[in-house]
Amino acid sequence: MSDPLNSRIVRHSPSTGPGSPDVWGIYEPDTGSIQYICADPATKKAALIDVAWNFDPKNYRFSTESMDQVLDLARDNGLEVEWVLDTHPHADHVMASAHLKARTGAPNAIGALVPEIAKIWADLYNLPDAFDPARDFDRLFEEGETFRIGELDVEVMLSPGHTLGSITYRCGDAAFVHDTLMQPDIGTSRSDFPGGKTGELWESIQDILALPGDTRLFVGHDYGGPDRDEPRWEATVAEHKAHNRHVKDGTERDAYIKRRQERDATLPLPDRILAALQINLRGGRLPPAEDDGNHYLKLPVNRFE
């Protein structure tokens, strides 16, 4: 019997009517990440959201299975890629942004505060001139900014806490909430990375839970749950308010912060973080090749507890 948590699962969440997108979630088993296609049913224009460039941290080798799967899925459904989007510079997987831009011709985008994240990590890596998000992304979206996927309006919500510059994409009755919430039986995401703040994560989650109750929330990760061994990534605002184990209705802010910080104190760094941030803050590009034609990453030593 196959193990769902080690399978590249695809699920379609169909449009619920006018103004509502079709959404496909594509599970990336190595990191428990969910990649998304958000498409306008009328025009067949689509955005790719948080797609991974596969990275093997044991052998430091890259491959393209995930982005290939996402692009094949878009092609098989007759979709034209109009945007390549990321919600934040991911710590647990390498973003495929630059490769997808090259392969589709679509512009790539991320949040406007990512340059502030880049400053933090430029110091940690001692690479003062390495990162320039304005160079490596076509758009740096501000809080409240809007754009379109086909004929569908998309609103950008600033959602700090996990990182200081995380953003949520809200398209009709779908919101891509990345590393804020997890599934209701799991709770929420961590807030202990450099620049993250638990109080800000709480406020971001409250903004998300203030959306209409039937809004479909699509999370960034899942690793199974206490009563299930298959990944899930979609639940409504109403379901989170009723059942989310960290932030359901009646939860007090201070109690949440205490619980989240105690949990975060037990978590190690993700095994890809020191490679991933060095690449993701370049828009998914490797550092320039050196005189031997090869690429090298720089890893800080004794900088983290």
Least confident interval from 100-104, 239-243, 266-270? 266-270
> Does 201 fall in a domain?
yes
Report the alpha-carbon distance of residue 157 to residue 57 in Å, rounded. Answer: 32
Residue whose token pair is 């994560």: 201
Nearest to 100 by CA among 130, 73, 134, 140: 73
> Does 213 fall in a domain?
yes
Going by DSSP bridges, is the β-strand pair 94-95/52-56 parallel, antiparallel, or unpaired? antiparallel
221 in Cβ contact with 33 (< 8 Å):
yes
199 in Cβ contact with 174 (< 8 Å):
no
pLDDT(1) > 60: no
pLDDT(88) > 90: yes
Report the alpha-carbon distance of residue 243 to residue 225 in Å, rounded. Answer: 14
Q: What's the Cα-to-Cα distance from 290 to each of 293, 296, 297, rounded to whole Å? A: 5, 8, 11
> Does 294 fall in a domain?
no
Going by DSSP bridges, is the β-strand pair 167-171/152-158 parallel, antiparallel, or unpaired? antiparallel
> Does 287 fall in a domain?
no
pLDDT(170) > 80: yes
- SS3 state at 238: helix
Domain limits for position 252: 4-267
pLDDT(2) > 70: no
Nearest to 176 by CA among 109, 246, 275: 109
pLDDT(5) > 80: no
> Does 286 fall in a domain?
no
What would the DSSP string read from start to end of 222-235?
Answer: ---BTTBSS---EE
> Does 221 fall in a domain?
yes
Nearest to 214 by CA among 178, 187, 241, 188: 241
For 8-30, how does the pLDDT look when each residue is reduced to its tens digit (9 = 90+)? 999 999 999 999 999 999 999 99
Confidence (pTM): 0.96
> Does 161 fall in a domain?
yes
The amino acid at residue 242 is: A
> Does 284 fall in a domain?
no
Q: What is the pLDDT of residue 7?
A: 82
pLDDT(157) > 70: yes
For 41-83, how does the pLDDT look when each residue is reduced to its tens digit (9 = 90+)? 999 999 999 999 999 999 999 999 999 999 999 999 999 999 9
pLDDT(3) > 90: no
| Average pLDDT rounded to a whole number, residues 155-181 | 97
- SS3 state at 175: strand
**Structural domain count of the chain:** 1
Report the alpha-carbon distance of residue 149 to residue 237 in Å, rounded. Answer: 23
Report the alpha-carbon distance of residue 177 to residue 36 in Å, rounded. Answer: 11
**In which band, very low, low, confident or very high, does the pLDDT at 100 lie, cut at 50, 70 and 90?**
very high
- SS3 state at 79: coil
Report the alpha-carbon distance of residue 207 to residue 136 in Å, rounded. Answer: 29
CATH number reported for the structural domain that contains residue 90 in this entry: 3.60.15.10
